[in-house]
Structure 1
Amino acid sequence: MSTALTEHHVPSQEPEEGLPQIQGYRLTRVIGHGGMSIVYLAEQASLEREVAIKVMLPEALADEVSRRRFENEARTIARLEHPHIVGIFEIGRTRDGLPYYAMPFLAHGHLGQREFVQDGEENGHARVRAILQALLAALDYAHARGVVHRDVKAENVLFDEAERPLLADFGIALRRFGPRVTTAGMAVGSTAYMAPEQARGEDVDARADLYAVGVLAWEMLTGQLPFLAGDALSMAVMHAQDPIPRLPRHLRHWQRFLDRALAKSPSQRYRSAQQMRDALERVPRRSGQALGRVTGTSHRAMAAIRRWPRTAWIGVVVLAAGATGLALRQGQPGPGTFFRATPGPAAESDPALPTPGAVPGASIIADPGSSMLRPLPISPAERYVIAAEQQLASRNLTAPEGANAFESILAAWKADPAYQLVPVVAGHLIDALGDEAQRHIRNGDDRRARDYVQQATALATQTRQAASPAMARFRARNRTALQARLDRAVEKLDRAGALQVVDSARTLGVDPATLSAMAAKAQRLPQPGSTIDDDGTRLARIDDRIIAVSQHDVSRGDYARFADATGREAALCRERVSLLRIVAPRSWKSPGFEQSTQHPVVCVSWEDAQAYARWLSQRTGRHYRLPTVTEARALPGTRGPKPVSEWLGNCGPDCSQRISAGHSWRGASGMRPLDSQRGYDDVGFRLVRDP
């Protein structure tokens, strides 16, 4: 998986729907995903900073034992404190129990987005040297603590605000998990940077990381990879078998350094990152400087030899082995070996490695029984797989007819079901179909989502991928999107909407256990008209919205508690100026008639009612407000006799006046615009709550 700690886009401020819940963080959107994890952009609430959070997929760590082992390894990685290693802030579990860890969010791009060959030879090469020194220092530090990265590649070299390179994503640097293999049978790691022993699925050590650094050096110097192939399998074979290519003339002073870094046998590479750093210092600063024992003449001679066909090479090596008896003395190569190296006295001591085919102090003997030395058969499925990859890149997933990835993969399967790349590209299509299904689920377009579910299921069934990690991801992402929709309906107390989500989940093939839990959650929501809380509110449907309505006006006792807590002064309460206002001013405490604490409070202004709603919202953590005119017409209790009219949230002719509505003991009815700063002895208020 390409690490997703970096992105050039301005982060969205609104969270995507259906994201994992992690205490202390607000996840906003996906910024990358791969076979074992998804990376999210998030805000850490306590420090108000952006972070990247990697959440492992359920199928990547299927049981509690593997999850605990993963967390232990992540803690080991978190202890790597180095200026050129991206650290880990925190390790934990999501609300659903999935392991995660939080890392810095670096927004200055990765190494694959930089072009050093365009900086001019001197400046570009200086920058290449500086980056290589930084990466090798980071690896030397990690290796000394028993951690092998195993996935060093351009996308995992990020840049901070000071343009320092940092090595990221030690996510598969797990020391004791043993070799892991993908569905296509390829070892974990990015094939373009993969050491030969890693491509063969063998145990690897620190020297595999040094090989990958050699590939990075080649890529930075030339602008392209040393080995290029149309698919992952062919790329792995080239790393394991093909000779190291020759650099162009102006870069030949780097050749000796890269020949040793990219040696096929780990024993012929640099012993450590520090030794590789020392060798880097000895690389001439420009082409034409002395290259030690390898002269221009020997370069030309070796170049001519390297143009020999492979059969000539094998013949020469076998004759040489027969003449010296080395093959007889060394015995037969072990299982899975492509080459066998017989060590010589200078194998480790000489930092200058000649060109491939002439490893210092060693003779390379081809294993005639190795299938890797024979040309790979061309599968009849290959052309369909290539077409499918191109169609995936163009997002032609299931259309147009005759030129889409779905049909191409099925054609590849029919042509050669055993071809290893068929399940790989089928998994890529299932992931792409999952993107579309999840998008339509979030948008409430269940019909289109069903189409993608049916297509993914049909593809998986016909290519025997029903139990594949890709289908597990597909189902998990659909569940997440549906549960997010259900949570929104529950939050709004929308029982009908929640039940609709359950129906959608049933038609989208959600597993029975999850479906049962979703249905129970929806059924627990109250019906409109039922009491839902201890504050005496009832549900009411207004158009397409559900609100919670207080059954009673705010009482004199309730308002007294608010006034005592806030020290709010009483508003004036009379419609006309009179001597009585001066002699015996009226207020909610003394409205001119007897009231108990249970009677509706009157003589409070619209502004008093607003202040009460804000106070109650802050105290309870819920959102209380005055009803609108539309809501007042539909709310129970506003029609027919009532002791008081009610303040509403709407303005009158201007907003110095507010609307009161309903009958009162004075007999007033309908909608009245009143002074918002004055209280009236027949006007009280009640509140509604947005769920």
Structure 2
Amino acid sequence: MLKTVPKLNLSIPDHTILDKIGEGGMSAVYLGRQISLQRKVAIKVLKKLVMDDKSLAERFVDEAKTVALLDHPHIISIYEAKKLPSGLAYFTMPYLTHGDLGEIICTNSDHLIELLCQICDGLSHAHKHGVIHRDLKPENVLFDQFGRIKIADFGIAISKKAKRKTKETQLLGSAHYMSPEQIQSKEIDHRSDIYSLGCIIYEKLTGDHVYTAGNDFSILMSHINKPVPELPKALAVWQPIINQCLAKDPEDRYQSVEALKDALLEIRYNKTKQHQPIKAAPAWLTTLKKPAVAMGALATLAVLIMAVLWLSSSGTPPEEPVNGNLAAAVAAAADQQPEDEPEETPVDDAPLELTIGVIDTAGEGDEDAELVDLTGNLDNEQINEMSLEVTLAEAQELLSKYRLTKPKGDNAADKFQQILLEYPDHAEAQKGLNQVGVYYFRLIESKLKDQETADALKHTRSLVSYINEYNIDRSLFERQVSEVMSTTDQLVTQAVNNRRKNQRAEDYLAMAALLLPDYEYISQLRQNYQAIPYKGQRTAGPRGHQLVFMPAGSSGNLNDFQVMQSEVTVAQFKAFAGEQFADEKCHHFDKQPFFKKTWLKPPFDQADTHPVVCVSFNNARAYAEWLSQQTGDRYRLPTAQEWQYLNRAIKTAEHCDSANLAGQEIEGERKATDNPHNCSDQFVFTAPVNSYTATGNINDFNGNVAEWVSNCSAGNACAAGSSWRSGQGKTNVMLQNLPVSETHSHVGFRLIKEI
């Protein structure tokens, strides 16, 4: 019989205090009798020592408000919640004496599934109202007198309507059932309750906690770091549920308790054999977690047997034996045992090997055990160490996910730095912070391998920002930087030698410059790379010549070369020839050579800026040899193949609006052509060089004068292209075979510089 507790000096209107039945960190639970209704109630009272803590007091009140909003058959109800003028805050609940989930072990999967589905229904109702329990464990899952589940102890629940009152440094919950995100003080949602329920399911299946260790700290770390344990083969059908409930990432769990309930029912519906009957197990007595308080040994055993019978039959609970009538209870139990018990248990419906104990009439004995630092298991130093280890585990996880320096505040580097700010000599945190750079190099190498050069550069910029922001010693990455530098040198040198720029060389050069900003050799490499000529690039040559770079064609039969931008002028040829070749008479309109008409005195007036005419192939080749001797470079006449390559590379118009061709201006010079163009270019004969530009910086390529080329198909020399005397029907691709010693008033030349 329960005794009164007068020494407590606790007075609650309309209630008589009968006994103290539980105590936690911030409240105590008393057994009371409500005088007006003559019923026993559980009274939860805020401790006087914490009443002055506003945040804790508010959380206590929030519990009552939260539970009061949850009107559901599987959630414990609130009778009354008040704060007395004295400052005493309390609320009353039903006094349940029929056990909790931690004290029973089902021996049939149907029984367990039925109980778990009731928990799912209660949680579903709470979650739909925005309430997360946060401390779901077997001791908080009670039974009423009808054997129905009642989820209790919402003391640390959070809801959308109630602000979170817990300090960030506090860990609320029970170590064996806390989700990884709850342990790490991350934002949690209803999926944290699903993780806790998964822990309960595993415990009900195996009789063991998911993770066991010598202290709470090690257990918490196991939830974060250790893999989900494997069930025995006989329970393999439950493994998918355990795996999904206990997934470290909430995104990988069931996204609702309704989905979990469906998965539980699926096990029941997919069974192909009858359930196994409950086996008598003397070991039941050794599994009891709490001693009976108000009953004798015989009554205890009788209740135990009757509870087993009720669970096995899925019917209404039997009446309690009167006066400890154990014999009758045992006989009744024997009569209800199935006769044809199979010898072996089917794999798809394995017995759960659980027993049913008797509830402690103390009820909520370890209520409010949610504050880890109030359990007495950990001191402040251990709490600090645990917080450090949690942060370290977070950092390692972020590192493995390549969340290196972004987003701000939730990345590996920031987490490691957070530890180092408090513990500057923490070797593992320093190693982790340095490891961020190694992971960046892995990203960079991966992107370069996949030819995603833009991403590689982006990661390199982030890497350098990380090195600068966290004051990382660059020498730690000497090997990786050396590899980048070696490849950069190789690629740039190859590009320079090939006279071809390429994106890969440019990206490596940019990365090397970021990684080694003060390395002078990189500046030299950049200069060499930038000096690589591009198609059409013009550079100054000797004797006033301008040279244009032309890369080799794709056919592979040509080499890169530079070609003169315009034909050799009268002044340039005069610097070489002086008075030479004055006896070589010039052909005009393909007639007999004119008397005393030479390159010095052509058949028409010319200035020094006009292209030299009336020079033979031999004269042009002699000029090339002379220029080569003057400069030390190799100059020569273009080949017919090079001419045709230039002709394809340079788009020119074949009319006198954009070239010096025969048009209406030659009306008095009918001998030039019988089919002149219908336009006029204002030049009867030659025009000054560079009068007509073309794409690629090579001027006067069409018209003005035809040009000497070598290695013609029909002989050693020929005149290529059109000239001032070319009318309609004459194209720039034409080749005119001529003797190497003949001179003509419409033929000049330009030279190639070999590279």
Per the normalisation by structure 2, the TM-score is 0.36
Q: Which has the higher contact order (CA 8 A, sep 6+)?
A: 2
Per the normalisation by structure 1, the TM-score is 0.39
* Structure exhibiting the larger radius of gyration computed from Cα positions: 2
